Homo-oligomer: A and B are copies of this chain.
Amino acid sequence: MKASNSIKEYIAAQAEHIEAALQCIVPSEWDVPPTLRESMNYSTMAGGKRLRPVFVLTAAEAVTGDQSAVDAATPIACAVELIHTYSLIHDDLPAMDDDDFRRGKPTNHKVYGEAIAILAGDALLTHAFYCVTMAAKQHQVSAETALSIVEDLSVLAGAPGMVGGQAADILGEQGVTTLADLEYIHRHKTSDLIAFSLKAGGRIGGANSAQLNALEQYGRKLGLAFQIQDDILDLIGDEQKLGKKINSDVEQNKVTYPYLIGLDESKAQVERLTAEAKQLLLAANLAQPERLIQIADFLMQRDH
């Protein structure tokens, strides 16, 4: 990967690296019921931006200043993508958001039935922790570092993190009226796993605690900006580019940032959060913060 590559090409190359690693994520020699394995692979390989795992790899590079930590960070990148994938499978279930399609393909339960979709989600969630242990088993990651990553993941993806955010979203469906409520949901449902990705990449790269904190905060701010941007795109985005209908939030009476604070203030918020995230990074004495800075700008300008 040349430094002169554009950020778009850089992200695409990192995502390709992740795709390859995800291909055979459950070892082929493991005795797993074929339908369960197929169902797990179906959703894992269904595309998507691979944003979270790209953050893991890029954070590790930012700390070391070169690509030396990318191999060791790859199992962690896979872990976070498995967590993201399981959460989408469970969110799509009839009892939750009841979605028939995701990224233009039938959702997991439409193909394999609800029972297998629930179990595929459970299996992916469990397997994410296996991936974390592989960072120590197959690479030069210390057991202490891997265990810290297990702890971070169990908190940020668990009841006080991503699952808590989804629960608050479900529980509050009619009741969300304040910015504080909405921020709680976005913060946990989206930002926590992005914050985890940055912090875990930093741990693999050997970041000190100030750097870890900066990476985590950068992740929190970008995660919130990302979610507000989603709200904005649902209102004024290009259906062709988004690959889905716009105005779905309005039709579903969903409370969003533009609804609560207006479109202009929402856009300003995205810019403010992005600027703050970049500033945090630049102050953290990272060996090579450029890619993360570029990703922040790239995300702010995205149209899908």
Chain A residues near B (Cβ < 8 Å) = 26, 30-33, 35-37, 40, 86, 90, 93, 95-96, 113-116, 118-119, 121-123, 125-127, 129-130, 132-133, 136-137, 142-144, 146-147, 150-151, 153-155, 157-160, 163-164, 166-168, 170-171
CA of A129 to CA of B151 in the docked complex: distance in angstroms?
7
Contact of A40 among B123, B136, B159 (CB under 8 A): B159
**Most chain B beta-carbon contacts within 10 A, residue among A30, A95, A114, A163:** A163
Q: Which residue of B lies closest to A152 (CB)?
A: B133
CA of A277 to CA of B166 in the docked complex: distance in angstroms?
44
Residues of B within 8 A of A115 (CB): 95-96, 170
CA of A160 to CA of B118 in the docked complex: distance in angstroms?
16
Q: Which residue of B lies closest to A32 (CB)?
A: B159
> Are the C-beta atoms of B126 and A159 separated by less than 8 Å?
yes
Complex A-B: 9 CB contacts under 8 Å: A26-B159, A35-B171, A36-B163, A37-B159, A95-B114, A96-B118, A116-B167, A123-B159, A126-B158
Residues of B within 8 A of A168 (CB): 33
Could you tell me the distance in whole angstroms from the C-beta of A199 to the nearest C-beta in chain B?
A: 15
Residues of B within 8 A of A171 (CB): 33, 35-36, 116
> Are the C-beta atoms of A130 and B158 separated by less than 8 Å?
yes
Could you tell me the distance in whole angstroms from the C-beta of A295 to the nearest C-beta in chain B?
A: 27
CA of A147 to CA of B132 in the docked complex: distance in angstroms?
9
Q: Which residue of B lies closest to A166 (CB)?
A: B119
Contact of A119 among B26, B154, B155, B170 (CB under 8 A): B170
Residues of B within 8 A of A159 (CB): 26, 30, 32, 36-37, 40, 123, 126-127
Residues of B within 8 A of A127 (CB): 154, 158-159
Residues of B within 8 A of A146 (CB): 143, 147
CA of A154 to CA of B130 in the docked complex: distance in angstroms?
5
> Are the C-beta atoms of A154 and B166 separated by less than 8 Å?
no
CA of A119 to CA of B122 in the docked complex: distance in angstroms?
11
Q: Which residue of B lies closest to A40 (CB)?
A: B159
A32/B160 contact (C-beta < 8 A), A96-B118, A115-B95, A122-B125 known? yes
Residues of B within 8 A of A125 (CB): 122, 125-126
> 9 closest pairs, A vs B, by CB?
A95-B114, A130-B154, A126-B158, A143-B143, A36-B167, A123-B159, A133-B151, A30-B160, A129-B154
